[in-house]
Each structure stands twice: as C-alpha cells, then as structure tokens.
Amino acid sequence: MPNVSPSACCGVLRFATVFVVTVASALPATAQTPAPAKQRARELGLPIGGTAGPLDAITDVAGVEVGHTTLISGSGKLVVGKGPIRTGVTVIHPRGKSNSDPVFGAWFTLNGNGEMTGTTWLQESGILEGPIAITNTHSVGVVRDAILQWQVGKPGMQPWGLPVVAETYDGGLNDINGFHVRPEHVASALDGAKGGAVLEGAVGGGTGMVCHGFKGGIGTASRRLPAEQGGYTVGVLVQCNYGARRDLRIAGVPVGEEIQDLQPCIANRDAPQAGPRRPCDAPATNRDDDDGAGSIIVVVATDAPLLPHQLKRVATRVSLGVGRMGGWGQNPSGDIFVAFSTANAGAGNASDTVAVRMLANGRISPLFTATAQATEEAIVNAMLAAETMTGANDLRIFALPADRLPAIMKKYGR
Amino acid sequence: MPNVSPSACCGVLRFATVFVVTVASALPATAQTPAPAKQRARELGLPIGGTAGPLDAITDVAGVEVGHTTLISGSGKLVVGKGPIRTGVTVIHPRGKSNSDPVFGAWFTLNGNGEMTGTTWLQESGILEGPIAITNTHSVGVVRDAILQWQVGKPGMQPWGLPVVAETYDGGLNDINGFHVRPEHVASALDGAKGGAVLEGAVGGGTGMVCHGFKGGIGTASRRLPAEQGGYTVGVLVQCNYGARRDLRIAGVPVGEEIQDLQPCIANRDAPQAGPRRPCDAPATNRDDDDGAGSIIVVVATDAPLLPHQLKRVATRVSLGVGRMGGWGQNPSGDIFVAFSTANAGAGNASDTVAVRMLANGRISPLFTATAQATEEAIVNAMLAAETMTGANDLRIFALPADRLPAIMKKYGR
Amino acid sequence: MPNVSPSACCGVLRFATVFVVTVASALPATAQTPAPAKQRARELGLPIGGTAGPLDAITDVAGVEVGHTTLISGSGKLVVGKGPIRTGVTVIHPRGKSNSDPVFGAWFTLNGNGEMTGTTWLQESGILEGPIAITNTHSVGVVRDAILQWQVGKPGMQPWGLPVVAETYDGGLNDINGFHVRPEHVASALDGAKGGAVLEGAVGGGTGMVCHGFKGGIGTASRRLPAEQGGYTVGVLVQCNYGARRDLRIAGVPVGEEIQDLQPCIANRDAPQAGPRRPCDAPATNRDDDDGAGSIIVVVATDAPLLPHQLKRVATRVSLGVGRMGGWGQNPSGDIFVAFSTANAGAGNASDTVAVRMLANGRISPLFTATAQATEEAIVNAMLAAETMTGANDLRIFALPADRLPAIMKKYGR
Amino acid sequence: MPNVSPSACCGVLRFATVFVVTVASALPATAQTPAPAKQRARELGLPIGGTAGPLDAITDVAGVEVGHTTLISGSGKLVVGKGPIRTGVTVIHPRGKSNSDPVFGAWFTLNGNGEMTGTTWLQESGILEGPIAITNTHSVGVVRDAILQWQVGKPGMQPWGLPVVAETYDGGLNDINGFHVRPEHVASALDGAKGGAVLEGAVGGGTGMVCHGFKGGIGTASRRLPAEQGGYTVGVLVQCNYGARRDLRIAGVPVGEEIQDLQPCIANRDAPQAGPRRPCDAPATNRDDDDGAGSIIVVVATDAPLLPHQLKRVATRVSLGVGRMGGWGQNPSGDIFVAFSTANAGAGNASDTVAVRMLANGRISPLFTATAQATEEAIVNAMLAAETMTGANDLRIFALPADRLPAIMKKYGR
C-alpha cells in the first residue's frame, strides 16, 4: 500500500477514491519524507524542560507499539456518506501487538465532554487488558467492537474484553456523519503497529483534528529521568483537537497572541459552504478565533513500577501540561487521559497471589513533572508535524508556521 | 412482523431464519398471551415493601418509553457467525422517542466489570442527552454508533452525542462472537418504543441472560411515594444477568437454597457441546451452581426534581437492592446503574441561566428506599417473566418455577 | 482504675464523677462478666452465612489491636458542659500500638453525612499511616490532634500525619455540646489497645449510640475463608448508630416489624425533658419509630494481600451488609467505611521500589461476600452486647431483647 | 488589640509574649501600612490575563467575609510548647459571619497529601453549611471543634455540623508540635471577619508558610466576567505553601530560574539549629532549592448560579492555575480546593422543593478560565505581600524581591 504524505490532502487535489493509509510508527527515512523534514520541538530547542528519550516518543517505553490508519479522500462540498473524508484511527499496544499480557492502568478526566470506553473496568480492576484506540467521535463504537473481533480471532487472546476507545471530533474537516471508519481499518492499524519513530500530525485518529486553531492531530514526546531518580521513561501520545488560538503558550511564550492570522477559513470564495466562516481571502476579523471547543486525548506510558492508584496520580498530572499550553478544560472539550505501566509483566494475568514491584510514593514526584512536560511537548509536536489541510466544505486549517517560531521565542527571551 | 413468544425459543424447535422481534412495551393483551399469563412479584404477594405505581414499571414515570428488539434464531451447536442467536437490544427514552429534551442524570457502579458508554460526560455535565440502550457485551459499539446515526437523521435532534449504552454478557446462550446486532435492530427498538406495560423476561437486551442460575433478562418495577412524601414515582428497569443460585433471596427468604435443582445443563446428552457442564438428564452435583459471574444493568427513572448530584445518590442505592437479593458485586460482574429525573424540562437545553426545581436533601430518603425496593422487585420480575430457554451448544437455562414459590414463602413465614 | 460494667449507667443510679473507663479489648473473663454473659450472633445460631474466625472479631486479623475509652457520668436533665455524659473513643491499630509500619488502605462512603478525616491522603497514597479512631461528632477534632500529639511523643513514629478519625452522633443520650472527650482519653485508648476479644456494645466511641431504635454501639465479627479460597481472614468493627426499627432485618427475618415495642422513650414522666418523645409509661404510638437518622462507621481489616484499589472494592461491599440489615444510607446518615490490609509489611515505608504481593482480582470475590457477612454480624453483635441505657434528659434506649429472638427466628423458618 | 505588622517578626527582635493578632479583612489604610505599601500583581502590571474586580480579592464576591488570627511569638531555638510561634488561622464566611444560610459547594484535590475536613458531606450533599477555615496541619482538629462550639453558641445557627477545615504545614518556621492554636483564636477570627480588602502574606493560617522557596501565606485575587458572559465574579483565596524555586513561573516567565539566590537559610551562624540547612552568610550551593514539598489550599467563591456538580468542575480548574505557576502536585503536597456559589440563597435550607437558578453548561467556560487566572494571581499576591521572616531554629525565608521583577519581566518580553 502506498504511503501517502498527509500534505497531499491539501490544496486543490481531488480524490476519486479513499486512500487508506495504514502506517506503522517505524517508517524508513525515505518513506517518511518526500517533503522536507519538519522539525520537532526539541530540534527547534523549545525550552519545555526535562530530558527526552532517544525517540522523544511514547515508543521510548520499551514494548509500546503504535499504528495508524489514515483515511483521506474527496474535497469540496460535504455530502454525507461520500465525503470529504479526513479521519482515521490510531492504536497503542502497551506491550506490542503480539503480547496480550495486561498492564496496570488508570484514567482521569479534566473535562469529560468526550468518550473513552472501558474506563469503568479500568478503574475497578486497575488493569488495562488490551490496546488503546483513538478515533473520531462517531466511530468509537465500530472501533470498539472491531477490537473485540480482532481479539476473538487471535489464538491465545482473551475472547472477551472491554476495549478502551477514545475520540475527538473531526466534524469540521471530515464527513463525520458518513461513518467512514470500518472494522478493517481498525484491524489494519492493530496489525500494522510497530515500535520506533511515531508518525505525527494529520495521521490516524488525528487526521482531521484542529489544535489551538492550527492543524492538530497526533503528537508524541517522552521524558527520561536521571539514574538517581530511577532512570524511568515516561512517554506520551496525544490526539490534539482543543484550544483557542489566543490562549496558546509554548514554554510560557504567548505564541497564540503573536500569530493571530492563519485562522480557520473557507478556501473557496465562490462556494462558501459552512455558514459563518470567513472566506480565506477576506480580511481577518476579531471573531475568527474559535472558543477552544474540541478535545484532547492523552495516553501516558511508563516503565516505572507504579500500581493502579499511582497511575491515577500520573494521569491527573496531564492536566498540568494541558493548562501550561493554554487549555482550560472548557465545557465542549473531552479531555480524557489514560496512563499505564509496562512494569510488572504477568501480574495482570496471575491466577492467585503474585509478586509485583511498587515504586515508593516518595519517589513519584519526578514522574509527575515528566508527565506534564511530555504532554506539553507532544502537543507542540502534533502541531509542528501537521500540514495545512483543506477538508469538508472547503474548510482550511493552517499549519503552525514553524518558521515564525524562532523570532517569537526570541522576542520573549527564549 | 409476527410477535414471537419468547417461549418459542425453547425445546426442540429449529429455526431457519433470524426472528427479529421488535416489541413495543405496550402490547395488546391478546398479543402478549397465547401462553397462560405469568404472574409478577406483586401478583404473587411477595412482601418486598413499598407501594408500586399502576403499571409497576419504569413507565409509571410519565414520559418514559421502552423498546426492545429481540433476536432469536437457530439451535444446537454453536457456529460463530451463524448462531444460535439469543440476543437483542433494549432502549429507554427518558422523555419519549419524540422528545430530545435532555434530563438530569448520574451513574454509579458497584462492580465495574462491564461497560456503560457515555458516563464520562454524564458525570461531568449532569445531563443525559439521549436514550439509554442495553445490549450484549460485544454489541455495545454498534448500538452506540447506531444511536448517533438515528439522531443524525432526525430533524431537530442534536447531530452529535455521546450515547449511553450498557451491556451484559450472553455468550452462554448466544453466539456473541457472531456480532448479530445490527444498526437496523437499534433503530427498530428506538422507533418502536412506547409507554405502558413493559414486556419482561427474555426480550431485548435481556434475551440471552441468566440471573441467579435461572433464566433472567429484562424486569421492571416502580414505587410511588405517599403524598406526604411528595407523591413521586421511582421506576426501575433491570437487565439481570448476575448472581449465584445459592445466594438468591426474595424478600429475605433464601429461595436459592430451597431450589437447588433446575441448574444450567446441556439439553442434548448425545452431543454435549460445552465441556464441563452436566447433561440435563444426569444426576445433579454440588458443582452445578455457578459462581455468580455476570452483571446487572439498572436504569432508575424518577419524576422527583433531583439535581445531578442527588441522582448520583439515588443510583448508589441500587446496590442495596442488589445486595438484598443476594448479589455481592462479584469480580466478574458489571453492576452499573444510571438514574435520571424527568423533572426540570428544558433545563438541559437552556442557553443561559434557567430556573430549576430541587428537592431538599432532607426529603430525599424515601426515594432511596423506593429505589432499593423497586430494584429488588424488578429483578424478581425479570426471573418470573422469563421462560426456560435452550441456546448455543444446547445450554439450557431454566425458568424460576413460580409455582414453587408460595410453599417456600410459607415455610419462611411469608 | 475500676472496670465499670456499661449496664451501670442505666436505671436510677446518679454519678457524681465521670467514670473514665479505658478498656483493652482482651479482658480476663472474670472482669468481663459480673452480669450473666450476653450471647453473640453465632452463639444464638443466627444464619448470616460464612464461617467466623476464632474470636469472631476484627482481632482475628493478626496484629490488629482495639482500645476503648468509655465516658459515663451523670443522669437526668441535660446541662451543657456538665452532662449527662455517655460518650467515648475507640481506636484500632492495624499492626498493633507499637508498630507504626503503614498498611495499604482505602475508603468508601454510602451516604456521606458524616466525617472521616484523613481520607484525602488515604485515597491519594493508598496508605493508612496510623491508627483509626471513632468518637462522637463533636469530638473528631480533639481526637485527631490528640493522635498527632501521641505520635509526636513516640520515638520512632513519624512526627507528622493526617489521622483517620470518624464519628457518629450521640447527642441524644450524651451532652455532646459539652465536648467531654479530652486528649488524655485518646491517649488512654491508644495505649490501652490490645488484641484478643473485643468488648462490644455501649463502650468507647459507641457508648451513646442507637441502632435501629435499640441500644447500639461497637460490634465486631470476622470471616475466615476456606483454604482453597486462600484461607484469608476478614475482620469488621462497626460503630452502629443508624437505622429505623421497622427496617431491621436479621438474616432476612423482619425482626424490626416483630419488635415494635421497646421504642426510645423518656424515663421520667414527671419531668419529661425532650419535647416530643413519649414517656416510657405512656401508651405506644405509631410515631415512636425513628426515621433512621444516624450513621454507621465500619472498619474492615484483612490479611489478604490486597492493593489499595482492591481495598476500595472491599470497602464498597460494606454497603451490601448494611443494606441487608435494613439500612438505606438515608440522608442524615454518615455511612463511611475504611478497609486495610495487614499484608505487605514494610511496603508503606519503603524508600524506593519494593516488592509487594497482590491477590489476583479473579480471587477476590469471596472477600466481598465475607465483608458483607461480617458487617451484618458485627451490627447484630453491637445490638446484642449493648444493654438498656438512660441518658441525657432521661432518654431511654432499650437493648435488643435477645430472649425474644429465638421465637421470631422460628416464626420465619430460621 | 494592636495591629502588628508581619514584618515585625523578622530580624533580631525577641518576643516575650504571644502576639495574638486578629485582623479583619477590611483595614483602614492607616492601620495597614506603617511600612511602605507593597504592590500587588496588578499594580505591577503582571500579564496574567482577565479583568479583576474592584478589590482583586475573594471579597469581590458579595457577602464573602475573611478573618485572620495571626500568632507570632519568640525566636531562636525551637522548644516544643514554647515556640517560636509563627502560625494562625484564616476563616472565610461564604455569606458573612451573621448569615448561616448554606451555599452550594464542591471540592477537588490535585494531590491529596493534606487534610480538608467536611468534604465527605460536601460531596454528598452539594452544600457547604458553614465557614471554611485554614490553619496549620496539627491544628485542624482544634479549629474544627472550635467552629462547632462557636456555632452551638449562636442563636439561630445549626447546633451541629461537619466543619470544613484545611491545612498546610508550617513546621519549618513554627513550633507546630506546640499546638498553639486555641479555640479562642478561632472564635476571634470567626467574629472578626469582614468584607473589603483582605490582608495578605504572613497572616492567619498563612503566617508560617513558604511558597516556591519565598515567604508565602495568604493571597487573594478575583476576576470579573464581561457583561456578555454574565458579569459574574470569581474570587480566589489561597494559603500558599508549595513549590520549588526553580519551577516558579509568573505569566509564563521563569522567575524562579532568574532568582536562584534568597534561598531558605539559617540566620544564626554561631548556633545553626536545623541540620543540613546552609547558614545565610555561607556561599549558596545548588542544593539550596527545596523540592517543592508543601501544599496549597485554594478557596474559590463565585456569584454565578452554579449547581454543586458545576462547582466541582470549577474546583478542578484550580489545578490549571497551580500548574501554570510551576506546581506539579508533588507527592508531599496537599493541594486541595473548595468552590462555592453565593447564588441561590435559601436553597440549602429549604424544607421541600425549592426553585434554584442554574447557569447552562454552555456558558460555564469563562468561569473556568477566570478560576485558573485568579488562582495564579492570588499565589503571586501571597508572595508579594509576605515579608522576609525568621522563625524556629533561626530559619529565614526571604520575601520575593518585587523590585527585581520588572527587569526579569522585561528580559522575557513582558
């Protein structure tokens, strides 16, 4: 299957068919970049704090695998059931796709205007029994059942489960009411997941997402603690679809106030499709900045030996990273976070008493800081990786202009 | 479409096609009873306490509508994807199927080994924005997305949502891995829902369920407070699939200890299908009594003007009813409860400040008692209504023998 | 200090001074019974289910120690600050008074109209760092600070803490606004705590409590699982001050309906003190039965190796025992439960990673049943141990007449 | 009683007696400032965002009253029970000290290593029935019982309650194990509370607190929404005792990195008292920066008509303000937040159904932002108001040097 650069979706191209792009996280360098390589936060030297792991990705936590299926097709006027399609699904296997050994896990919600299935059992049992998936709001159900179907078909996997599937809303760029995600797309992401570098931006579940008024989507980052703090790794993956432009801060710098142009607009003046939006070639107004509706799903992985109640504490700290970026957990936002630990292999499947290792509470604080910092950086990475996209009804969402960041950072002493 | 009595599924009949039975709750008396009418708990005079409403059903709360789609087909050896099929979906519209005005709501879980989608937003917002559906474990996703699809297609309904869908597991009697519930079955239940008497037993989502080792499924009951306590109604609907036989108590009487025969068994001695189960014509053993795996979903409706945090208190009291019946919230059980109030019409859709009525906390206690009592009676009603069913791999689950209850109750002074 | 039988408080005796009765749980048989020994639930053969440990007490969990300070003084008209005094404090040391090694713990509330301090840290950390104390509502503060003072004075104890102190309201029998519990009473209970048999009834924090309209107070019970379920012990201690008479059930038998006499009344006809109450020698009315205001604090101990999130599950099951007795978690009731595990010594004090043992979730269900059953029996034991008491303003609360139980149980087939 | 400037505690003065300073919030300008007036955040033009109310204080919410009792005495070597004393208690009356009408309320904890009593009933009932008090860790009990005593003595007040009392730890500067807060200090703060400007810094419960390595304590701020967002006021009061120096950010500017001197130190070289601390005149080391142990209690008041479940959402957003300042909710920190609404007078005392007003969820987001912003500003105000203090064992905590802020802000483009 050909690898389609996310940038292909933009501009005036017209697609005749749905491109189903299943992308494993580990891409050969050649496949990833026909376009000039985009820089990530640490390459830009953004001073978010802490030290990243080798990949600066959730896959720095050994065993974690990520897979995406990206669905991009059509352009112009929205016809429900036809498109344009800008959506997909992203999956995270805590111990890899071939290892069904459960992990300890927990979740937290800053603002619950969203869905994450499977959380009731996660909270009760302290155990995450399968992959995590992220998709659009209207496809949570199909993804959930498809994970069960996939598990039922695997020898050795539990033929039962309560899958963890979360969502953010892509009804701006995507024909969300067309229900375009299908079971085979889910299976493809599950089977195609890999370790290594994670493709970011408008891919997988993040394909049609908008973050602080810029093109958002999937982003990832990690932090590695120094040896004297245990040397543990915290990896974060976000599906970023929240935030007002004016509130965007990067490393404390009010980037959103500095970039008030490049607001969402309608690319086709002759056929403005979506009511109140400004045509892209009309003068900007002070009403262009959205209110920050949207959502953010955050997955935190760590190899630190944390028990379920400790992972809940970690998941709670994601809020701090979101807040530092300029998120307020606003009413329309589904800000839902899940954390798991890859330590304690075998504990979740034990049949009687089992030995597990626990990190003392007195040693947990650096993991809190790492979680907040990796969340911040993953959000920035999502925006940096995504390219400008034009979708349903010619809605255009611009990429964060990375080339303007150095001057802005300098203006604010960074 | 012909109305099929649930009892038709049992015995030696072989079905060639899937019977899709969409049953509104209000059935003409003639349609409901080719078989002799089965008695409900209050007709048997079981002293559970409190006073029921006219229907002794969740539909005693004005506006509430219930719809079922029942899927029954095939018999004998399980072939995944073919059957036998013993499943379905049940829906509850808080204000009726034509009224999308939200209600205040809340939820609670006694043991969370189950799924109820939509709870994150329910908890955050205090508002239940659409119908509640109950189905089998592996069909939660399809039902969830189908509700969205149904809403999207309705003029005036919010083209967006986070549907509340719960489940219990019917993988004993039903080909659960065949994923037989389809979107049209959901739409049929949603459109066919009505007020009035509610069909109970092996119908809708409850079709393939087992309760205290007897055939379970859907049951309902209500309590009406005296005028001096406000005259409010509490209605309960359960999908009952939990409990060990030995623990079953009715009105404090140890019925489960008294009926140790009629345990689940395999109806076809020549082709025993499901491993360790005893053939029905073999002598009983002391290992026949299951451990009480399973689940119970409980929906509580009231017209009392309760705010969301008060409805959470009501939902919590469902546990007390389950406990009095002999449920312990055991590890494999998904005991998840949702409560809503039909008071305060218009509040959930208000665009600014809105006047609502609140019952003083000092007046709430009778609603707690009513909730626990109606839960107890709804569970008993589910068992009384269900008839013996034979399903996948010839597994046979017997009906609670109502004719033996009077003698048992008398033995225990009732 | 002389040991004063709780029964001494009743009748026409007038006390000139406060009797401070610090009673360790392990009393020599001679000291415990000048009066004829009262029978406990298992001696009466009440069929609550399960198998008790040797003491049928929370102290069947090795290491647990219990201490009481009982304050009884005065009679007749209430004079705030003078008395009559009917109150005290009960303490539980999870690993004994000389062992400050923390235990894993968790808590749950059925109805939160009460106080249990220290729960925020208990929830966050999963660790219970000191003793648990139970007293009257207005003495929570003094008991809390006194525990800190006691710890500060002990070499090797953490000179800091967030003590867990709970309460129920004894403002009927006791001069609660006199604030009679003092730091030295707390220290005395802490220092006097012992293993072995636990004194029950109107002692310690339970001195002035009322349960289902009978004299309540402290009760305890235990359950021991069979070896094939791990052989674990669950011990429960309650301070019982909740419930309406009419709702009281024992082993499913409606004892409260059967004993409608012996309701609270005013013992002194010539000087009726407390407004609406009936004089004891006036004819009974149907308004004598209280509404079940009050509270119940329940402490669950186990030696099963449960993690904090699993102990939360155990604490939740206490509700089921309360519900089976006839409690509904009514609005005025503070029904707050705490659970801890004495397994995993050293884990709470670890300075880095530490090995702990965890019971698989799949093995936890028998502990749930044991918790509910031991709760039921502990409540019954509290009522069986307490004797009729006359307190402030001549309020008289009658003991549950154990001699009438056999006939009632027989009437209901038990 | 003379008003003592908090700065009097510092330097070489030796106190012979305890100064009990009960300060109402509304001070005549003359009383407040023998010393030159200190500037607050908005006077310094720190760009935290949003618009403050007239007082930039919690008392901008009509009816709210604040009272402090400040206890300062002694210096030099710590002698438990003697001093030095640097502690106190702060109280907030939601509707003023003469109005016992309850308010709707809720609470949230970011990291629960602390105490806030009364939260169980607050969560269950949705109602805050009395004042909120904040003190040191070891005085929570005495303050709690003293509030009950104060209420019992007031005609018309409920002679019962579950007071809300929180704490942070002042065991560095204060003889915390001396238990110096007494009931009369609590009564004095309760009776002396007033509206108007609120005294900030080292006063009341905040007397001995440390915030990001600077002298902390009590701070307050407010935000007023524009008319089109309802014109509501959000007021915040903090007792600030958390944070590492290196993590301190103000309006996104890394102030803590810029001020690495002025770390806690021991003022008396000849008698260094507290082990590992550096004498103030010794060279600084890179180990001077504390790890951010400590706590922060935050009280949020609003006049917006929010129901209890909505106030929970508001309380949760306090985390975002703490995170933006550089707090991570670290393990030793008790970060506990309570929110209440002064709207809906009479609702909490209603005896049956009652009309209340509710703000639509769709209008709540600006209150979230306001809460986070007011939290940030209140923390800054606490540090700006406090002056350098020397306490137990000659520990010296420096004030944030406000005169250095303009240059730092300018360096970072602010």
Res B204 pLDDT > 70: yes
The alpha carbon of residue D49 and the mean position of all alpha carbons in its chain are separated, in whole angstroms, by 21
Res B30 pLDDT > 80: no
Cβ of C347 under 8 Å from any chain A Cβ? yes
Q: Are C195 and C162 in contact (CB under 8 A)?
A: no
pLDDT band at B292, cuts 50/70/90? low
Cβ of B313 under 8 Å from any chain C Cβ? yes
Average pLDDT over chain D, rounded to an integer: 90
A179 residue type, one letter: F
The Cα C32–Cα A284 span in angstroms is: 87
Which residues partner with A92 through β-bridges?
Answer: A66, A132
| pLDDT tens column, A341-360 | 999 999 999 999 999 999 99
Cβ of A291 under 8 Å from any chain D Cβ? yes
Percent of the residues in chain C that have a pLDDT greater than 90, as a whole number: 82
The minimal CB distance from C113 to the residues D124, D139, D169 is found for D124
Residue C305: predicted pLDDT: 98
Res A33 pLDDT > 60: no
Lookup: tokens for B46: 């079981």
Q: Are A243 and A326 in contact (CB under 8 A)?
A: yes
Compute the average pLDDT of residues C160-189.
Answer: 96
Residue identified by tokens 């402490």 is C299
The Cα C391–Cα A9 span in angstroms is: 82
* Min Cα separation B124/chain D (Å): 7
Nearest to B392 by CA among B275, B312, B219: B275
Interface test with B, best of D358, D361, D363, D367 (most B CBs within 10 A): D358
The residue ranking higher by pLDDT, B156 or C255, is C255
| pLDDT tens column, B109-145 | 999 999 999 999 999 999 999 999 999 999 999 999 9
The Cα B91–Cα B237 span in angstroms is: 10
The residue ranking higher by pLDDT, B269 or B403, is B403
Q: Are B193 and B97 in contact (CB under 8 A)?
A: yes
The residue ranking higher by pLDDT, B325 or D32, is B325
Buried b (16+ CB within 10 A) or exposed e, A150-178: bbbeeeeeeebbbbbbbbbbbbbbbbbbb
Res D272 pLDDT > 60: no
The minimal CB distance from B120 to the residues A115, A169, A179 is found for A115
H/E run at residue D385: helix D365-385
| pLDDT tens column, A117-133 | 999 999 999 999 999 99
* DSSP conformation class of D344: S
Residue C268: predicted pLDDT: 87
The residue ranking higher by pLDDT, C53 or A32, is C53
The residue ranking higher by pLDDT, C26 or B257, is B257
Res A286 pLDDT > 80: no
| pLDDT tens column, D134-148 | 999 999 999 999 999
Residue B285: predicted pLDDT: 75
Name the pairing type of β-strands C85-93 and C103-112: unpaired
Catalytic, B295? Answer yes
Taking CA–CA distances from D360, the nearest residue in chain A reads A331
Q: Lowest mean pLDDT of A347-356, B256-265, C31-40, D43-52, name the range.
A: C31-40
Cβ of A109 under 8 Å from any chain B Cβ? yes
Residue identified by tokens 């079981």 is B46
Output phi, psi for D12, to 5 deg: -105, 5
Instruction: State yes or no: cis peptide before B6, omega within 30 of 0.
Output: no
Nearest to B138 by CA among B165, B157, B164, B104: B165
Lookup: tokens for B245: 């036989």
Residue B272: predicted pLDDT: 57
Compute the average pLDDT of residues B330-347.
Answer: 97
Residue A22: predicted pLDDT: 52
Which one is catalytic: B56, B333, B341, B394? B333
Compute the average pLDDT of residues A101-118.
Answer: 98
| pLDDT tens column, B361-384 | 999 999 999 999 999 999 999 999
Report helix, strand or coil for C348: helix
* DSSP conformation class of D392: B
| pLDDT tens column, B37-79 | 689 999 999 999 999 999 999 999 999 999 999 999 999 999 9
Residue B36: predicted pLDDT: 54
Cβ of A314 under 8 Å from any chain D Cβ? no
3-state secondary structure labels for all residues of B57-74: CHHHCCCCEEEEEEEEEC
The Cα B14–Cα B4 span in angstroms is: 14
- All chains having 3 or more CB pairs closer than 8 angstroms to chain A: B, C, D
Taking CA–CA distances from D348, the nearest residue in chain B reads B360
How far from D25 is each of D35, D52, D199, CA to CA, in Å?
A: 18, 18, 6
Res C290 pLDDT > 80: no
| pLDDT tens column, C238-254 | 999 999 999 999 999 99
Compute the average pLDDT of residues A174-203.
Answer: 98
Percent of the residues in chain B that have a pLDDT greater than 70, as a whole number: 88
The residue ranking higher by pLDDT, A272 or A304, is A304
Res D2 pLDDT > 80: no
| pLDDT tens column, A355-412 | 999 999 999 999 999 999 999 999 999 999 999 999 999 999 999 999 999 999 999 9
The Cα D78–Cα A332 span in angstroms is: 53
Interface test with D, best of B119, B307, B354 (most D CBs within 10 A): B307
The residue ranking higher by pLDDT, C10 or D18, is D18
Residue B275: predicted pLDDT: 67
DSSP letters for D114-151: S-BTTHHHHHHHSEE-S-EEEEEGGGHHHHHHHHHHHH
Instruction: State yes or no: cis peptide before A84, omega within 30 of 0.
Output: yes
Angle formed at CA B178 by CA B175 and CA B179, multiple of 5 degrees: 110
Residue C202: predicted pLDDT: 98
pLDDT band at C332, cuts 50/70/90? very high
Compute the average pLDDT of residues D359-385.
Answer: 98
Compute the average pLDDT of residues B167-191.
Answer: 97
Res C22 pLDDT > 70: no
Residue identified by tokens 């990705």 is A57
The Cα A21–Cα A3 span in angstroms is: 6
The alpha carbon of residue A266 and the mean position of all alpha carbons in its chain are separated, in whole angstroms, by 25
Taking CA–CA distances from A292, the nearest residue in chain D reads D365
Compute the average pLDDT of residues D76-86.
Answer: 96
Q: How many CB atoms lie within 10 A of CB C197?
A: 19
DSSP letters for A162-180: --EEEEE--TTTS-GGG--
Cβ of B365 under 8 Å from any chain D Cβ? no
Residue C285: predicted pLDDT: 75
Catalytic, C295? Answer yes
Catalytic, C365? Answer no
pLDDT band at B273, cuts 50/70/90? low
Buried b (16+ CB within 10 A) or exposed e, C88-125: bbbbbbbbbbeebbbbbbbbbbbbbbbbbbbbbbbbbb
Cβ of B32 under 8 Å from any chain A Cβ? no
pLDDT band at D294, cuts 50/70/90? confident
Spell out where D225-352 has E strands. 233-241, 265-266, 294-302, 333-341
The minimal CB distance from A329 to the residues D328, D330, D368 is found for D368
The residue ranking higher by pLDDT, A362 or B18, is A362
Residue B7: predicted pLDDT: 34
What predicted TM-score, i.e. pTM, was given to this entire model? 0.93
Which one is catalytic: A25, A73, A100, A333? A333
Res B200 pLDDT > 90: yes
Taking CA–CA distances from C171, the nearest residue in chain D reads D160
The Cα B367–Cα B372 span in angstroms is: 9
Res D190 pLDDT > 70: yes
The Cα B339–Cα A87 span in angstroms is: 34
Residue identified by tokens 């507290």 is D274
Cβ of C369 under 8 Å from any chain D Cβ? no
Residue C276: predicted pLDDT: 74
- Do the Cβ atoms of C121 and D115 come within 8 Å? yes
Asked if the ipTM is above 0.90, the reply is yes
* DSSP conformation class of B88: E
The Cα D176–Cα D78 span in angstroms is: 10
Lookup: tokens for B356: 């609502």
Q: How many CB pairs under 8 A join A and D?
A: 98
Name the pairing type of β-strands B395-397 and C85-93: unpaired
